[in-house]
A and B are shown apart, each in its own frame.
Chain A
Amino acid sequence: MLGLDADRLRADLNRLLAFLFHQGILDEQYLQLQQLQDESSPNFVSEVVNIYFHESEKLLRNLRSLLMDREFSDYDKMGIHLNQFIGSSSSIGAKRVRNVCVAFRAASDQNNRAGCLRALELLEHEYCILKNKLHELFQIEQQRLLAAGVRYPMLN
């Protein structure tokens, strides 16, 4: 019963989304992204999110290497990285990641190295959660499309 699968998957998808919203992992900006997705760019959301992952991992690496440096003192640079991180995270609706970044930025503004380290760890943690959940989301979506597609071939 492929149709049932599609329905079930859609229910799963919605449930997951609701969970993510409820947990604050995502916010309504993500919905804006979804609305931007249309026939001309059917994979818009996953493309953007993949770009985001790519950039974020770069940023996280940079941040970590900055902080690991014993003689680190360039908080400005860190602030710039963080600004970008905040911008991109908020643009895709990654609310929790964004909030940790903001706290991170605050610590950085105070040259609070230990605070920054803790914030970085928290950030990496939150980022992992986000990435896992979004992957899950995309998987379900893909399966749902497949299931729906098989069920209604003319709608492909």
Chain B
Amino acid sequence: MNSSSGKSYMSTASSSVLWKAGGDVVADQFPAGLRVLLVDDDPTCLMILEKMLKACQYNVTKCNRAETALSMLRENRNGFDIVISDVHMPDMDGFKLLEHIGLEMDLPVIMMSADDGKNVVMKGVTHGACDYLIKPVRIEALKNIWQHVVRKRKNEWKDFEQSGSVEEGDRQPKQSEDADYSSSANEGNWKSSKRRKDDEDENDERDDTSTLKKPRVVWSVELHQQFVAAVNQLGIEKAVPKKILELMNVPGLTRENVASHLQKYRLYLRRLSGVSQHPSNLNNSFMNPQDATFGPLDLQALAATGQLPAQSLATLQAAGLGRSTAKSGIPMPLIDQRNIFSFENPKLRFGEVQQQHVNNNKQTNLLHGIPTTMEPKQLAGLHHTAQSVGNMNMPVLSHSSQSSQNNPLLMQMAQPQARGQMLNDSTVGLAPRLLSPRGQSMLSNGMATNVSTRIGVPENIRAPSYNPVSQTSSMLNFPMNHTSELPGNSFPLVSTPGISSLAPKVAFQEDVNSEIKGSVGFMPSYDIFNDLNQHKPQNWELQNVGMMFNSSQHSNSLQGNLDHTQSVLVQQGFLSGQNRNSTVISKAMFSAGDCSGHVNAQNSNQHLNSLLDNTVRVKSERVADAAPANLYPDHFGQEDLMSALLKQVGSFFSLYDTDGDIILLILTSKFPIFLQQDIIAPAENNDFDFDGYSIDNIPV
């Protein structure tokens, strides 16, 4: 026996752990007795999981609130070996809990949810969850969770070792410690350096490892901030534990503590940089008229434009933001770090410093994942910035996998948001929302008041949806299996000046059972009337009409509608071309006569806030790729809106009345929104080369 408490020791690398259960040593019974903390607000799952864990012979503590769990952990730091937590909980986001636990207690945390959306799982990974289980959780999945505990301890052990030896360059004490590793003293070392209490028996016996027997340091928020400040001061590359320790000047803190924390911090940063490289970081295309409100933001913008080296940026930001600790202490400096990575993206060309600022302004919103609401003035501002933004090279959604995708919005998020939707929430002004990582849908955000983005959207559905604020009705038309008109869905053909006249209409026609699940999404339709709507029934000629329909039935209905619909619709559907540039194929339908609002029945897509200028962001080079000859600048004499649109939109079709005034635009976008089998391939879009179709010749 190695200690008075009678522990046994297994020297195999994979299982050299010792477990204490309930105060008694459970030797050689690992993983039995593993102390699990289970957190789930759903009582059904809680009960089932508890029973399953008990069946695995684990020692289970359950609670249904994250706050309770956290306080339990804080009170009893060494009381648990692993935590299993649900993602969606009412009082605290599971990921937040995850972060807390990781930083404060450094326990392995397993996330679980019924939500298997890639975004959410990715979030779990980036937040440091060691596993992500999809409900229903089977008992077999639970039988193996002990591996995470072992793995974590092994890694910490190694990190500890490495950081100590590398940073110090003094191998003497290390060697003696190394020698100890192979002996039974190891277990004492390991445990005591990890998470055992000071007064545990085994500590007393490890004389030669006294340097390791430090009480476990709690990296509180303040301490961590000091740490980060020190690191930034030294520079991330040159930060060695010794110097950090000196800078921090915290009594009782040892170099080893700093070393292990530094290791974790480095991993965290690496993870963040991975996030920023991740396709889910969407390019923010913005037209953000707002001014910077943060001093540090200028730094970021400068860095983005290459005028500031990233390191200095980090330093400055840390200094700047470190002082003004925002809402959450820890996340703030971390955000800065993230900025480093995000702004190293060379592909970003943000001519507009302002854009960054707006993102920052939206920080609060982002933090809560609440869709940002844009004030109407932003809409106006949009016009102004439209021009400048139009020149921006927007590596947009089409490059879903580009690592260059970067969204400065990310930096706004206290919690690293792999969720593309979150990023999009903060889309400045009227920039389209980009969903990531895959199906990316675009929302124009300008008038959004009820912008909602989904968390963990199921695979096929990528439509963040929102209801635009329009004084006309922003309605979704849901004709179910027939063309119908929702009450209140009056076409805003009545001229409402400017943007507000655009009201997205979503029409779809679908079968609930078959299509709800994988429904393509709807075709938002918007009427771009502005003051064009006084051009009442005329002989409108369609030019460049693109079409999109999901199935023949839809097209039939389209045709059917053609005869009697009284409205002109511009619909924009988005394809979630997974590897293609989805083009928005839209169909304009109209009939002579008054323009009341019959909605075309199409697959419901999403609501697009039908602001012309904020809809599509396409890479400028794509404009060439797009359907040829779609720009008719000379036709647009109407407003800045139009010209702004022209600059931004990759390609579009325009509809003119006989006077040559543009009546509506059909925009093509290049990012995938929905994937669906029933969406026309983009190639077809290019086939449309209309020139003055009369209404009878609209191909369906």
Residues of A within 8 A of B (CB): 29, 32-33, 35-36, 41, 44, 47-48, 51-52, 55, 73-76, 79-80, 83-84, 86-88, 90-93, 102-107, 109-115, 118-119, 122
Assess whether B461 is interfacial by the CB under 8 Å rule. Answer: yes
Known: A32-B138, A88-B45. A107 touches B465 (CB 8 A): no
Q: A115 CA to B479 CA in the complex, in Å?
A: 10
A76 near B522: Cβ-Cβ < 8 Å:
no
Q: A105 CA to B88 CA in the complex, in Å?
A: 15
B114 near A109: Cβ-Cβ < 8 Å:
no
Q: A32 CA to B136 CA in the complex, in Å?
A: 11
Binding-face segment, B48-56, B155-163, B357-365: B48-56
16 pairs across A/B with beta carbons < 8 Å? Answer: A29-B138, A32-B52, A32-B139, A36-B52, A84-B88, A87-B86, A87-B114, A90-B136, A92-B48, A103-B517, A107-B519, A110-B522, A111-B476, A112-B604, A113-B476, A119-B512
A87 near B465: Cβ-Cβ < 8 Å:
no
Assess whether B113 is interfacial by the CB under 8 Å rule. Answer: yes
A-chain residues with CB within 8 Å of residue B42 when the two chains form the complex: 55, 84, 87-88
In-complex Cβ contact of B510 among A32, A88, A115 (8 A): A115
Q: For residue A84, which residue of chain B has the nearest CB?
A: B42
Assess whether B450 is interfacial by the CB under 8 Å rule. Answer: yes
B478 near A112: Cβ-Cβ < 8 Å:
yes
A-chain residues with CB within 8 Å of residue B458 when the two chains form the complex: 102, 105-106, 109
Assess whether B513 is interfacial by the CB under 8 Å rule. Answer: yes
Q: A14 CA to B495 CA in the complex, in Å?
A: 68
Known: A75-B452, A92-B44, A107-B516. A80 touches B510 (CB 8 A): no
| Beta-carbon contacts under 8 Å, B610-664 to A | none
**Which of A74, A76, A93, A109 has the most chain B CB within a 10 Å cutoff?**
A109
A-chain residues with CB within 8 Å of residue B302 when the two chains form the complex: none
Q: A36 CA to B49 CA in the complex, in Å?
A: 10
**Which of B139, B478, B508 has the most chain A CB within a 10 Å cutoff?**
B478
A106 near B48: Cβ-Cβ < 8 Å:
no
Minimum CB–CB distance from B88 to chain A (whole Å) comes to 5
A-chain residues with CB within 8 Å of residue B250 when the two chains form the complex: none
Minimum CB–CB distance from A140 to chain B (whole Å) comes to 22
A79 near B136: Cβ-Cβ < 8 Å:
no
A91 near B457: Cβ-Cβ < 8 Å:
no
In-complex Cβ contact of B48 among A36, A80, A83, A114 (8 A): A36
A102 near B522: Cβ-Cβ < 8 Å:
no
A109 near B47: Cβ-Cβ < 8 Å:
no
Q: A101 CA to B135 CA in the complex, in Å?
A: 14
B516 near A106: Cβ-Cβ < 8 Å:
yes
A-chain residues with CB within 8 Å of residue B513 when the two chains form the complex: 103, 122
Residues of B within 8 A of A (CB): 41-45, 47-48, 51-52, 55, 86, 88, 113-115, 135-139, 450, 452-458, 460-461, 463, 465-467, 476, 478, 480, 506, 508, 510, 512-513, 516-519, 521-522, 604-607
B-chain residues with CB within 8 Å of residue A35 when the two chains form the complex: 139
A-B CB pair tally, cutoff 8 Å: 142
Known interface pairs A79-B455, A122-B512; 7 further A-B residue pairs with C-beta atoms within 8 A, sorted by A's residue number? A51-B47, A83-B88, A103-B517, A110-B522, A114-B480, A115-B510, A119-B512
B-chain residues with CB within 8 Å of residue A33 when the two chains form the complex: 48
Minimum CB–CB distance from A80 to chain B (whole Å) comes to 6
A110 near B113: Cβ-Cβ < 8 Å:
no
A118 near B137: Cβ-Cβ < 8 Å:
no
B43 near A51: Cβ-Cβ < 8 Å:
yes
A-chain residues with CB within 8 Å of residue B138 when the two chains form the complex: 29, 32
A-chain residues with CB within 8 Å of residue B55 when the two chains form the complex: 36
B-chain residues with CB within 8 Å of residue A104 when the two chains form the complex: 516
A-chain residues with CB within 8 Å of residue B604 when the two chains form the complex: 110, 112, 115
B44 near A73: Cβ-Cβ < 8 Å:
no
A73 near B467: Cβ-Cβ < 8 Å:
yes
Q: For residue A110, which residue of chain B has the nearest CB?
A: B463
A87 near B113: Cβ-Cβ < 8 Å:
yes
A-chain residues with CB within 8 Å of residue B45 when the two chains form the complex: 87-88, 91
In-complex Cβ contact of A110 among B47, B51, B135, B521 (8 A): B521
A-chain residues with CB within 8 Å of residue B517 when the two chains form the complex: 102-103, 106
B43 near A75: Cβ-Cβ < 8 Å:
no
Q: A75 CA to B455 CA in the complex, in Å?
A: 11
In-complex Cβ contact of B478 among A92, A105, A115 (8 A): A115
Minimum CB–CB distance from B574 to chain A (whole Å) comes to 12
Minimum CB–CB distance from A44 to chain B (whole Å) comes to 6
Q: A87 CA to B518 CA in the complex, in Å?
A: 20
A110 near B606: Cβ-Cβ < 8 Å:
yes
Q: A112 CA to B522 CA in the complex, in Å?
A: 9
